[in-house]
Amino acid sequence: MSYSGWETVIGLEVHVQLATKTKIFSGASTAFGAEANTQACAIDLAMPGTLPVLNKQAVHYAVMFGLAIDAEIGKESAFERKNYFYPDSPKGYQTTQLEKPIVGRGNVEIKLADGSTKNVRIHHAHLEEDAGKSLHEGDFRHGVSGIDLNRAGTPLIEIVSEPDMSNAEEAIAFAKRLHSIVTSIGICDGEMSQGSMRFDVNVSVRPKGTSELGTRTETKNLNSYKFMEEAITKEVERQIDLIEDGGTVMQETRLYNGDTKVARSMRSKEEANDYRYFPCPDLLPVIVSDETIEELRRNLPELPDARQARFIEQYGLSDYDAAVIGSDAAMAAYFEIAAAKSANAKLAANWTMGELAARLNSQDLSISKSPVTAEQLGGLVMRIADNSISGKMAKEVFEAIWAGEGSADQIIDARGLKQVSDTGALEKMVVEVLATNQAMVDDYINSDETKRKKKLGGFMGKIMQASKGQANPQQVNQILAQKLNELL
């Protein structure tokens, strides 16, 4: 089967949980991970006679997103009811926006691996409430489903893109860019594993060179870039195979299970709900004044592009390092603390992106949950920079900090890891090693130039062994070369 004759069209709908303390229409907490149904008040439970009151912070966050993508701001937006029965939707309707969203057309620029950029148009973004969670068999009890309404009423913005992406790479670059924007301006915690950002992917294919859109399918609720990539790749292949086998793509909603790697149809167009949207009579139109918009614009936190430029300028980071660190708000904040503490930004950047990121990744931890604080990493980098410890020792110290043994200095002290950089002491050490290894010395002298270089490592090993790894390797190298030279 050949896929080369086809092109793919992808649009995304992205649900972003807003980082407000309370829910969009009630005073209940939005904190993640509480015991089921302990963060649902009478309003969230849709008790009779209860009424919604709009959370202003959620409105401000949505406007901030609009400003960050240079979008039109809906100065008068309105809520509607989207009606459907489901146990995790306690009112039987979702309060959302349809005709008059809070954020209108905007643009998001994505950078691709080959260095090129592409503009993805945003159709609109609207405010709405999240649903609760249904816990089915396996998650809950056999034969019984449970409902957890803690999440019900968590504020969301749903960002709807135009179908401007043409492969998984672009879709993921777009998703990452949105993640970068919403975390940079502080309206979302960006914790994908907790569902803070969820992606619905609309995919269609068409013969290369044609302009008419094919029938699309929507794969809902992907919460990792990896699953997104897998789901898109599989769906594109499925659609092309289907068409090439003489079939037609049906408009449908699909689900992708990232654990089993299996996608399945959830409902066809015919089974789709008639949501019977109508204006929510319990809520007034949302008016956002020009003054409010200007104030939010003035106070808008630094956007990823500006931050990356600043990192290059202020810290002398490379374009690549600035892009990696600067696009992730949490990592950027971490880096800036570590850089300040260590007074060596470049090295702090290397450690943040290198050792730390790898270790966090392997444990599936976000940087905000890092056992090594930014101050601690800065302290470690400082000791590398001032030659107190070698790179190898630094890794040992890093592990010890990770394990909770304290700051770099405490660990260096406790373990006696301080590097020996005293020239006199080192000379003495070198001379001793040479004296006790006469055979090696003779062998060295009798070798030619090229072989001698290779034999230096053997001496280094002996010296480091003798110093218990604490000898400053650069200095030892110098002294050793000098002493051996003298013997020739």
Q: Which residues of the shown chain bind other proteins in the complex (CB under 8 A)?
A: 42, 45-54, 81, 83, 85, 87, 90-93, 145, 147, 274, 276-278, 281-284
As measured in angstroms, the least distance from the Cβ of 57 to other proteins is 16
Q: CA 107 to CA 67: how far, in whole Å? A: 10
H helix and E strand count, the chain: 16, 15
The tokens for 433 are 């090693």
Distances (CA, A) of 198 to 56, 127, 183, 344: 23, 15, 14, 37
As measured in angstroms, the least distance from the Cβ of 133 to other proteins is 14
Q: CA 446 to CA 460: how far, in whole Å? A: 19
Cα 64–Cα 171–Cα 7 angle in degrees, nearest 5:
140
Residue nearer to other proteins on the CB measure, 145 or 387: 145
Residue nearer to other proteins on the CB measure, 155 or 214: 155
Residue nearer to other proteins on the CB measure, 90 or 155: 90
Residue nearer to other proteins on the CB measure, 54 or 160: 54
- Which DSSP string corresponds to 13-57? EEEEE---SB-SSSS-B--TTPSTTSS--TTTTT-TT------HH
Residue nearer to other proteins on the CB measure, 247 or 285: 285
As measured in angstroms, the least distance from the Cβ of 272 to other proteins is 10
As measured in angstroms, the least distance from the Cβ of 91 to other proteins is 5
| Pairing assessment for the beta strands 217-222 and 117-129 based on DSSP bridges | unpaired
Confirm if 381 and 352 have CB atoms less than 8 A apart: no
As measured in angstroms, the least distance from the Cβ of 86 to other proteins is 8
Q: CA 461 to CA 483: how far, in whole Å? A: 16
Residue nearer to other proteins on the CB measure, 41 or 385: 41
As measured in angstroms, the least distance from the Cβ of 51 to other proteins is 5
As measured in angstroms, the least distance from the Cβ of 147 to other proteins is 7
| Pairing assessment for the beta strands 93-96 and 80-83 based on DSSP bridges | antiparallel
Residue nearer to other proteins on the CB measure, 95 or 472: 95
As measured in angstroms, the least distance from the Cβ of 40 to other proteins is 10
Q: Which residues contact 197 (CB under 8 A, 6 or more apart)?
A: 14, 15, 16, 17, 175, 178, 179, 182, 188, 190, 223
Residue nearer to other proteins on the CB measure, 92 or 371: 92
Confirm if 150 and 40 have CB atoms less than 8 A apart: yes
Confirm if 263 and 254 have CB atoms less than 8 A apart: yes
